[in-house]
A and B are shown apart, each in its own frame.
Chain A
Amino acid sequence: MELYRRYGPALLRKAERMLQSREEAQDLVQGLFLDLLQRARADDAGAIDLPYLYRAITNRCLNHLRDRRNQGRLIASHELAAQDIARTRVDDRIVDRQLLSSLSGRLDDQSWEVLVYRFIDDLGEDEIASLLGASRRTVARRVRHIRQEVRLLLADPRPMTGGRTGEAT
């Protein structure tokens, strides 16, 4: 599958940044392409590019993190894994897997997705707007909301609610 050979490594790196687990990233990337292989139609092939797949794998990773069983599988070295590549932070805080999971009960789905693009993938607001098909103003508003929630979380780290019921991966 040419798409897999071309884009698989990029998606693997992206999923690994989010999950800080190579094995989990491999499983999710493979699952994504297996689905594509099974479901895509010939006339879809031309529409599939890296931004499209970026969104697809982002949502798979978020669903994976949303599952409470996976949330519990935090690895002790997650900070180390994120440290040397993090370029964008929220108030000096790296958005790692733990923080990402902690925010799952505080942010709506699209804000959670924006959080990933802005603070893990380092996309600018224009890029995010283009990726989501939203206005830059909307993205900026969501980014402000995210920053606010992170500050609240860090000031008052209530237990994870797991409030999103069960989308399994």
Chain B
Amino acid sequence: MSGEADCVPISWLRLERYHLGELPPAESDVVARHLEQCDRCRRCLDRIQRPHGADLPALPAGRAPDGAGGAATAAMTAPGGRGRGGFTRGGRSVSWGLRALVAVGAAAALVLIIARPSEVPLPRRHLIQTKGGDVTFELVRERGGSVAWDAAAYSAQDRFKVLLTCPPPLRLYADLAVVQGDGAAFPGEPVAVSCGNRVPLPLAFRITGPGPAAVCLSVDQAQPPARDRLRALRPADRLGDLPTSCIRLDAAGD
């Protein structure tokens, strides 16, 4: 029962829809008959039918977006969708803040941001004011399968992602640094990002070093932000004169 030489493959899309029971009955019958004859396509269906749930990161759906109607969000989050998820995934063991990412930025040249002293409770949305409009970024922490939008501490097992909000159609360059006692480390290269509402930066990172840390976002509309001043930062520094916004985190247990 091979018939492979004659196989006109059933597309992955059609197999997926067959698996989900979304094909019209007649089309579903055609697929079923083909699968009886074709080992290769059946192997593809087997692959689809393997349990895959563990590989699908949970979705952080903690808050409704600003300006979004509750009904809209509710419709999209259906049963229980407003609960907290988490981005669980197989551990990436990369030394410290690994792939992170970024993007944002603003108007003319650089942006100015404000870092608050750590003893002052920080707003969870960190504002960078630009000529093109305000840019905010949020740090989302996944820990053991649950998501925190207002994390003030980190541990080596935590995974972080950054969400940016800035006004379209701006496109900005952004760079991310994790600042600890021995200076700044850059989980990734500066990236360009098209503005929008809570644009998730595509990469995630961990913080493994000891002591307090600050996750700092630097943006520039014209070019990737220079890193020299970021490199000189220390967690205790006041950053008000830098084109940077930082979120301070304490090490868990500190």
Stretch at the interface among B50-58, B208-216, B235-243: B50-58
Q: Which A residues lie within 8 Å of B81 (CB)?
A: 1-2
B10 cross-chain contacts in A, Cβ below 8 A: 122
**Candidates A34, A44, A45, A117; contact of B200 at CB < 8 Å:** A34
B76 near A1 with CB under 8 A, answer: yes
Give the interface segment out of B40-48, B129-137, B244-252.
B40-48
Which of A22-30, A104-112, A147-155 lies on the face that meets chain B?
Answer: A22-30
Determine the residue in chain A with the shortest Cβ distance to B172. A168
Which of B22, B59, B65 has the largest number of chain A CB atoms within 10 A? B59
Interface-facing stretch out of B12-20, B109-117, B148-156, B226-234: B12-20
Asked if B59 and A13 make an inter-chain contact with CB atoms under 8 angstroms apart, the answer reads: no
**Inter-chain contacts of A10 with B (CB < 8 A):** 16, 19-20, 48
Contact residues, B32-82 vs A (CB, 8 A): 40-41, 43-44, 47-48, 52-53, 55-57, 59-61, 65, 68-69, 71-79, 81
In contact, A87 and B192 (Cβ under 8 angstroms): no
Residues of A within 8 A of B8 (CB): 124
Given contacts A121-B12, A122-B11, contact A39 B61 (CB under 8 A): no
A-B pairs with beta carbons under 8 Å apart, 14 shown: A1-B59, A4-B59, A14-B12, A23-B92, A30-B59, A39-B68, A39-B197, A42-B71, A42-B74, A45-B75, A51-B13, A64-B202, A87-B40, A166-B192
